[in-house]
Chain A
């Protein structure tokens, strides 16, 4: 009896003390795949965001209406699976005291889970998921008031760049290879649409799909080869992209490979090895310390996590900048209430200096007719990267000014 009373007192006092603490912290959730095929992106995004949080907390936290509040972090692994992602979103949206969510790598997870945040009005910044569907689902539904923002170069921009690059290389006939997920299928559609938009200079001679987990792409590649493709446009994630690269090597099918930014995933670069060299993909950030703006972030990341190479530099930098933008929005809102944070994200007054760019009012009031209102990146923010001996470097050195300069939209 006595023992149970003691336990009860302890329980009560601890719950009271956390209750008291909750008053002067801002709770932010980070979700993403921290295991599975998309883990390099999820982990880098999380670690980039955590780096920002620890810097903010070391400086005393966010000034919210006169009180300094530290950021408290909740992390959830969605394993890159749609159903798991939906459960995570349900859990976080029912916690009641979460101010905002950052994350999601897999477009399917955003499509399945984000409705729970929208129902509760919880602010979410999607990064680095790039699939068009995660924003267009809201414009199609005509949602009036949207607390979902994106901080990534969406597939529309990426497909545009891929097609531009293919044209720049002088290709006439291309094959499209894509995975059978939401991401791959919508990427394929974006590519086809972009080819039309850019005047139909490219002819698509083969469209082939593959499943997650496929290791042998010879069949798809033979069809591409036989149809006379001079280049392969790719939409998928790391492990399968690596299988495409090694299949190409095996068949001696030496044509350029251009695809979504997933070609910069470490599990593509490491698994493909030499076969991956020369693969081209859009990037918002390049891990190159000779870029003045990027250097402090790259060095801080290497030091904080004891690595010489960021698994997914784009995800890490986007996680970092998104967190900085969110912190600024919470400060400007003077409140930890999601509705007020949303309003200030839509109208940021101060320019935030990030690892990627100086962000001056990246988002504006949501307009269901125009998804761009909640998209932070434009074509002008993005450069072409190229895999070279285990790293991603600039494909067109002239684009260094984009990464260096003040990429104000």
Chain B
């Protein structure tokens, strides 16, 4: 293999692994969209708050393995709070106020983080070994592997729970038809709240696995929401598998364009992908076309 090709492969693999993080954040969009037809535009801020919570827990002496679940519980609480505070009322009034309200709650999150933890980027300690692994000349670090396996693991877990537990089936029933679900004795409001809590927990988990690579700071998630949203729109808001593919594609495309065109062009492919998806296939590449009967 020549050096040029190896360099490109290295960039694509590194980007693809980071792209799994986009997929996980996008998965949070998917969860709340399925249940309540709304998404949290402050999802990236939940990622950031989850990372900071994890960092503080490690700071007071908790081991990483214990800090992550506690951070996820905190993330779940925040997700639930966003739904109750910003989304429910707007949806009851059948308006799009939740878009602005979730952004505002996210901005509050940034201010809170700046005041609690300061504006500086901090390293996130992890128990994984230092250094890198090599596969066919391509280096991969442990934190990168943790992102990929963690993202896939959590998504698989939630998907299984959705299919094989009573609660999961109830949430699916609500997403199919809230009124019919109510008639069957499911409290659709609780089901929606639950999906927001799970989405929040997924965001916090994302924070604790991304932070070792990117460091933790109040602005770490600024671009993440937009990228994850691009992934969700490109993949379609109802395909978990599609998210992973779209995430990997976006991550690799970013890295490659940064490498080939110069670091200033890193963000371009995500936006082009988003525009193309909206123009050519608004339901998403893996999405189902919903036919509305009037």
Residues of A whose CB lies within 8 Å of any CB of B are 35-37, 39, 79, 208-211, 213-216, 218-220, 222-223, 226, 239, 242, 249-252, 267, 270-271, 273-275
Contacts and interface: CB of A to CB of B under 8 A. Distances in A.
Given A218-B14, A222-B11, A251-B139, A271 B130 contact: no
Interface residues of B, number: 28
A210 B123 contact: no
Interface string B183-217: 00000000000000000000000000000011100
B30 interface: no
B280 interface: no
Contacts of A251: 10, 132, 139
B139 A252 contact: yes
Contact of A249 (B10, B122, B132, B215): B132
Given A219-B255, A249-B132, A267 B263 contact: no
Interface string B114-134: 000011111100000011101
Interface string B21-61: 00000000000000000000000000000000000000000
Interface string B130-154: 1110100001010000000000000
A37, A79, A218 pick with most chain B CB within 10 angstroms: A218
A270 B11 contact: no
17 contacts: A35-B119, A36-B119, A36-B120, A211-B264, A214-B263, A215-B214, A216-B14, A219-B259, A226-B4, A239-B215, A242-B123, A242-B215, A250-B141, A251-B139, A267-B120, A271-B123, A273-B123
Contact of B134 (A226, A249, A252, A267): A252
Binding site secondary structure of chain A: helix
Contact of B3 (A216, A220, A226): A226
B258 interface: yes
A403 B87 CA distance: 63
B9 to A, nearest CB: 10
B61 to A, nearest CB: 19
Contacts of B156: none
B214 A249 contact: no
Q: Which 4 A-B pairs have the closest CB atoms?
A: A219-B259, A35-B119, A271-B123, A222-B7
Given A250-B141, A251-B139, A271-B123, 7 more contacts: A208-B263, A220-B263, A222-B7, A223-B259, A226-B3, A226-B7, A267-B121
A220 B7 CA distance: 11
B18 interface: yes
A216 B118 contact: no
Contacts of A239: 121, 215
A270 B123 contact: yes
A275 B10 CA distance: 20
Given A218-B14, A252-B134, A211 B263 contact: yes
B226 to A, nearest CB: 14
A274 B118 CA distance: 25
A209 B214 CA distance: 18
Contacts of A211: 263-264
A2 to B, nearest CB: 40
Contact of A219 (B132, B215, B258): B258
Nearest to B120: A39
A229 to B, nearest CB: 13
Contact of B120 (A35, A216, A222, A223): A35
B231 to A, nearest CB: 18
A249 B213 CA distance: 13
Nearest to B223: A213
A242 B3 CA distance: 25
A215 B215 contact: yes
A252 B237 CA distance: 40
A252 B18 CA distance: 20
A214 B219 CA distance: 12
B259 A249 contact: no
Given A219-B255, A222-B10, A271-B215, A250 B121 contact: no
Contacts of B263: 208-211, 214, 219-220
A363 B158 CA distance: 68
A226 B10 CA distance: 12
A35 B119 CA distance: 6
Contact of A218 (B10, B118, B121, B264): B10
A212 B134 CA distance: 29
Contacts of A35: 118-120
Given A211-B264, A250-B139, A218 B134 contact: no
A236 to B, nearest CB: 13
Contact of A215 (B4, B132, B134, B213): B213
Nearest to B131: A249
A37 B11 contact: no
B11 A218 contact: yes
A79 B255 CA distance: 30
B40 to A, nearest CB: 23
Nearest to A208: B263
A215 B216 CA distance: 11
A37 B255 contact: no
Given A37-B121, A252-B139, A213 B255 contact: no
A304 B101 CA distance: 46
Contacts of B255: 216, 218-219
A39 B132 CA distance: 31
A206 B52 CA distance: 37
